[in-house]
Amino acid sequence: MSVRNVLKYGTQSLREPSKEVHKVSKKISDLVHDLLETMYAKNGVGLAAPQIGVNYRVFVIDVSSNDEPLHPLVFINPKIIKKSGAIISNEGCLSFPEAYTDVRRYKNVTVKALDINGRPFIMEANGGTLLTRAIQHEFDHLDGILFIDHCVNRFDADGVLAKYDLPPIDPDKLISEPELEAELNND
């Protein structure tokens, strides 16, 4: 197990879709341990395999606070099977050191995945909690989607990226989210 280098925004492989895991082998469990170790070393809430240069559909999350025991969650081949509601979430990412911006997210999601032992589980995360948002954020990484693609204001986001010497928004990657926007405007 080791702390791995986290790829920075601008690296092409962060934009590539990741492959399904066919078997939760030793290689995959080693990958999970490296993800966890790296996430904890960098004080992240979540980390996806493509962020350490491995394009497999695996991510980890831990939303416990500093005074709580660790509570690692492992998601292999995740699928979001239900989503509803909308919220604005101020997010950052270990691949975007120090850069935070507001993005649109679903308020409730249900995810189905395999755990570290290859057993299927279903998890509901409701109410726009940190877990709800982290699941959506990490899931996106597996399809080469980054949080800035969901930004509420691309000009604000560009300002933040420039401030931290990161490449600008790629307009072709921006995601149109009329349903989320409509829901947010109703509130």
* Cα–Cα nearest to 35, from 8, 58, 69: 58
Q: Letter for the amino acid at 13?
A: S
Catalytic residue among 37, 68, 124, 138: 138
Name beta bridge partners: 121. Answer: 113
Q: To the nearest whole angstrom, how small is the minimum distance from the Cβ of residue 119 to Zn ion?
A: 26
In whole angstroms, give the CA distance from residue 84 to residue 5: 35
Of 28, 93, 109, 125, the residue at the interface with Zn ion (CB under 5 A) is 93
Tokens of 177: 């989210």
- Residue number with CB closer to Zn ion (31 or 93): 93
- For residues 9 and 146, the answer to whether their CB atoms sit within 8 Å is yes
Report the DSSP pairing between strands 108-114 and 120-125: antiparallel
- Residue number with CB closer to Zn ion (52 or 93): 93
- For residues 167 and 9, the answer to whether their CB atoms sit within 8 Å is yes
Q: To the nearest whole angstrom, how small is the minimum distance from the Cβ of residue 14 to Zn ion?
A: 9
Question: Using CB under 5 A, which of the segments 23-31, 90-98, 104-112, 178-186 binds Zn ion?
Answer: 90-98
Whether 179 is catalytic: no
- Residue number with CB closer to Zn ion (93 or 125): 93
Q: To the nearest whole angstrom, how small is the minimum distance from the Cβ of residue 90 to Zn ion?
A: 14
Q: To the nearest whole angstrom, how small is the minimum distance from the Cβ of residue 93 to Zn ion?
A: 3
Cβ atoms within 10 Å of 162's Cβ, excluding its own: 12
Instruction: Show which residues are catalytic.
Output: 138
Residues at the interface with Zn ion (CB under 5 A): 93
